[in-house]
């Protein structure tokens, strides 16, 4: 179980995926509290980071120095990517991840993210620049390719390994699929065959059964979980327990769940400030209420409440299993 990532040991190969607007420091801290082999920050756009665009530095109050944290950077030019990597390293980062998998149009339109898979020679120069810029393990996250006619992840992974990348994460879809259809875990096996560094399977890994299937079909060395952790920060620890026999997490219920969600909400208010924090927290509160089957009327009250203390006061009722459906 586990693998080496540079000079560090990933003891449990169950990783938290980078999710824009979701895997901020409060959420990563909560996931790590339950247990995770590695948690990855939200993507940082290198150009914006270097020019200190408002909001970018706040995202990267990354908790970069926290032991099991990887910081993901994105960009389209080697120079800014290398400089951003050096700056993140100076902030105490332990691992740096290169984003070559984001399918969003606003990212690929600027030739970042998965658009780099359409220009593998240029992508390699970018990878080389980041690896040479820092004395840290550098990892790479990609998709299978741009579309079904260009499944070049194995070739890109082989080049990245030659450049010094220490781990490859593959989302089992093409960019043109976005998040539609099913992740093709079997296709990830071609990347596994192409390289010697650890390969991590990503895409539709939402629970232990899916993780087990993904590992079986891909031959990967571990799994990365994204959407499966939404509203369930204990999910990675559950999967690790089922697959690798690590201690089972204590999944909070009743008062313990209310305390956990309240603490998460307050952490977001502290991180972002009350106004922005309240707005950003709504997606998380919504996922928690999905699991609690909160009645629609009460759900709407909580998600539209602007007074943060009033929102906190509503949480016990909204998350109570005794609430009758409206």
Question: Does 72 carry a binding-site annotation?
Answer: yes
Tokens representing residue 1 in the block: 């179980």
Is there a contact between 238 and 212 (Cβ–Cβ < 8 Å)? no
pTM of the model: 0.93
Tokens representing residue 4 in the block: 């080496």
pLDDT in tens, 89-128: 988 889 999 999 999 888 888 888 999 999 999 999 999 9
102 is known as an active-site residue: yes
Cα–Cα distance between 86 and 131 in angstroms, integer? Answer: 10
Tokens representing residue 231 in the block: 């509203």
Mean pLDDT score across all residues of the chain: 92
Q: Predicted confidence band at 321 (pLDDT cuts at 50, 70, 90)?
A: low
- The catalytic residue among 102, 117, 214, 240 is 102
Question: Does 241 carry a binding-site annotation?
Answer: no
Is there a contact between 170 and 142 (Cβ–Cβ < 8 Å)? yes
* Res 57: pLDDT: 45
Question: Does 37 carry a binding-site annotation?
Answer: no
Please enumerate, as own/partner, the contacts of 312-316 that have beta carbons within 8 Å and a separation of 24 or more: 312/262, 312/265, 312/266, 315/258, 315/261, 315/262, 315/265, 315/285, 316/258
Beta strands per DSSP E along 175-318: 199-202, 222-225
Is there a contact between 102 and 116 (Cβ–Cβ < 8 Å)? no
* Res 61: pLDDT: 60
* Mean pLDDT, rounded, for 139-163: 96
Tokens representing residue 72 in the block: 């993901």
pLDDT in tens, 219-251: 999 999 999 999 999 999 999 999 999 999 999
Question: Does 171 carry a binding-site annotation?
Answer: yes
Tokens representing residue 61 in the block: 């109050």
The three-state secondary structure class of 70 is strand
The three-state secondary structure class of 9 is strand
Half-sphere exposure of 294 (CA within 13 A, CB side): 22
């Amino acid at each position: 179980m586990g693998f080496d990532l540079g000079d560090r040991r990933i003891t449990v190969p169950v990783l938290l995926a980078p999710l824009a607007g979701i895997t901020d420091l409060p959420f990563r801290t909560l996931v790590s509290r339950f247990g995770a082999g590695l948690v990855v920050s939200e993507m940082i756009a290198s150009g914006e980071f270097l020019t200190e665009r408002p909001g970018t530095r706040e995202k990267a109050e990354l908790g970069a120095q926290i032991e099991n944290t990887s910081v993901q950077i994105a960009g389209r030019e080697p120079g800014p990517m290398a400089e951003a990597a050096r700056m993140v390293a100076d902030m105490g980062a332990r691992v740096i991840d290169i984003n070559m998998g984001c399918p969003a149009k606003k990212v690929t339109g600027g030739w970042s993210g998965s658009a780099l898979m359409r220009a593998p020679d240029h992508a390699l120069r970018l990878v080389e620049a980041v690896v040479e810029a820092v004395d840290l393990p550098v990892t790479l996250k990609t998709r299978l390719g741009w579309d079904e006619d260009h499944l070049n992840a194995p070739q890109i992974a082989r080049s990245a390994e030659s450049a010094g990348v220490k781990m490859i994460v593959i989302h089992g879809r093409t960019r043109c699929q976005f998040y539609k259809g099913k992740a093709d875990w079997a296709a990830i096996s071609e990347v596994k065959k192409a390289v010697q560094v650890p390969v991590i399977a990503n895409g539709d890994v939402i629970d232990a059964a899916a993780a087990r299937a993904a590992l079986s079909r891909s031959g990967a060395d571990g799994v990365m979980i994204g959407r499966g952790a939404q509203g369930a920060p204990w999910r990675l620890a559950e999967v690790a327990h089922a697959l690798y026999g690590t201690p089972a997490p204590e999944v909070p219920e009743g008062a313990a769940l209310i305390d956990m969600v309240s603490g998460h909400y307050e952490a977001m208010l502290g991180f972002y400030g009350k106004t922005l924090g309240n707005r950003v927290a709504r997606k998380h509160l919504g996922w928690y209420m999905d699991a609690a089957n909160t009645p629609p009327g009460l759900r709407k009250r909580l998600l539209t409440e602007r007074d943060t203390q009033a929102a906190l006061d509503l949480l016990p009722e909204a998350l109570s299993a005794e609430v009758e459906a409206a």
